Structure 1
């Protein structure tokens, strides 16, 4: 006898009480999915990359800071190289704010025939290199006495000498004065300066306003000639004083014993002792 079609029991397994079903309505097991794991891995890699980049930047900054400190701390004082004659292309011309001029005399007073000597120093005090003519053609040393212009180094100048100077450079030179007058175009037979007080100053004919402080010195007069004294007369060995000129002893004449005056030359002598 066949069973009715609508009353046939289901062919699937009978669910066990207390065990969750495997259907869509069942509870989750709690394990992350593969997609979640991939997202977490990507975020971890990004965070690690950010940390690495930050560490590298910090190391580079520390190295740069340390290098700056080492560069600013000199190991020892090294004298700058002397100024060199060089091409001036690409460099600006020195201005008065870039330079200083110093002038000193070798002595404060010079004896007769001694030539004064002056030490001139051109120093760069600016911040950038510049070029300047350092020859006596543009650094004029002038000697004056009051309002009288005695001598100038530009009256008979040598050739120019252009220097390229860097910050801190100093260019010393010596200028001698032969105690002679000078004028423009070097005329000859000028009167020589005499003894007295003089003043010297150096200025730049190329850099406007550049000048040194004045230096005062003295030219001494020649010593006076020696005074001639007459030779001393030698005294006789017996200690007697020699007779004066015109004295009887000087003429070897002996006075008469009776005190009579001897006759003049050519007069007759009385025989009786009477006075003629």
Structure 2
């Protein structure tokens, strides 16, 4: 009696590499988000300061008239509005301009509130993009392999800025997280940071 052939269910090497690239990009992008979120987490873990007494000593005396008007609610602090595109300035830079064969470029996205009031910015993986080009050749983009993009809103004070870093491991990518076998060669490359509809100017760096 002929034996049935059992078809292998293991993923191919190409599928495995594509999944690994997607996990790598998502993890590295989340590192930048955790750096942003760390400020809020630290404030939550910090013990609350004891409340100061606001009572009027004269009001505690018998028969003393209250100096506070009755029936007037205390004003509540207003929540900051979302930043307008013209209030957000995105810039791109690299930790160093020249990289040896063993150095992976660290791409830095800086987001500045150029407005005059506190405002909220969505810095989630649904909005941010780190892309690398060589002339007209599109080399790499974090948007190619991000799975389950998220929204993360932070408040930035006027004139203040926040940064996120992404370590590019010298791989190429393609839309849909398709595997690209070719490796970037030594030469000059451009890095552009993008947040939503706001893009930075291109920062140049060199691979040796």
Structure 1: any 5+ residue segments left out of the alignment?
1-81, 221-276
Distance 1:99 1:151 in 2: 24
Structure 1 residue 181 corresponds to structure 2 residue 172: yes
Q: What is the CA distance between 1:215 and its match in structure 2?
A: 0.9
Return the index of the structure with the highest Cα Rg: 1
Distance 2:139 2:110 in 1: 22
Question: Any idea what SS the aligned residue of 2:199 has?
Answer: coil
Aligned pair partner of 1:109 in 89, 93, 98:
98
Q: Which stretch has the larger CA shift, 133-142 or 178-187?
A: 133-142
Q: Is the 8 Å Cα contact of residues 103 and 201 (structure 1) preserved in structure 2?
A: yes
Structure 1 residue 96 corresponds to structure 2 residue 116: no
Structure 2: any 5+ residue segments left out of the alignment?
1-37, 42-77
Report what 1:212 is aligned to. 200
Distance 1:84 1:178 in 2: 30
Q: Is the 8 Å Cα contact of residues 99 and 207 (structure 2) preserved in structure 1?
A: yes
Q: Which stretch has the larger CA shift, 161-170 or 113-122?
A: 161-170
Question: Any idea what SS the aligned residue of 1:97 has?
Answer: helix
Report what 2:7 is aligned to. none
Q: What is the CA distance between 1:96 and its match in structure 2?
A: 2.1
**Higher RCO (C-alpha 8 Å, min separation 6):** 2
Q: Is the 8 Å Cα contact of residues 83 and 165 (structure 1) preserved in structure 2?
A: no
Q: Which runs of 4+ in 1 moved over 6 A?
A: none
* Larger proportion of strand: 2
Deviations 1:218-266 (A, max 9, x none): 111xxxxxxxxxxxxxxxxxxxxxxxxxxxxxxxxxxxxxxxxxxxxxx
Q: What is the CA distance between 1:190 and its match in structure 2?
A: 3.3
Q: TM-score, normalised by structure 2?
A: 0.56
Q: Is the 8 Å Cα contact of residues 107 and 165 (structure 2) preserved in structure 1?
A: yes
Task: Label 1:124 to 1:83 Cα distance change in 2 as closer, same or farther (>3 A).
Answer: farther
Deviations 1:177-229 (A, max 9, x none): 11001122212243211111111111222xx3x22221111111xxxxxxxxx
Task: Label 1:113 to 1:160 Cα distance change in 2 as closer, same or farther (>3 A).
Answer: farther
Aligned length: 133
Question: Any idea what SS the aligned residue of 1:154 has?
Answer: helix
Q: Is the 8 Å Cα contact of residues 133 and 163 (structure 1) preserved in structure 2?
A: yes
- Structure 1 residues 58-97: aligned runs within 5 Å: 84=40, 91-97=80-86
Distance 1:213 1:189 in 2: 26
Report what 2:130 is aligned to. 141
Report what 2:187 is aligned to. 196
Q: TM-score, normalised by structure 1?
A: 0.43
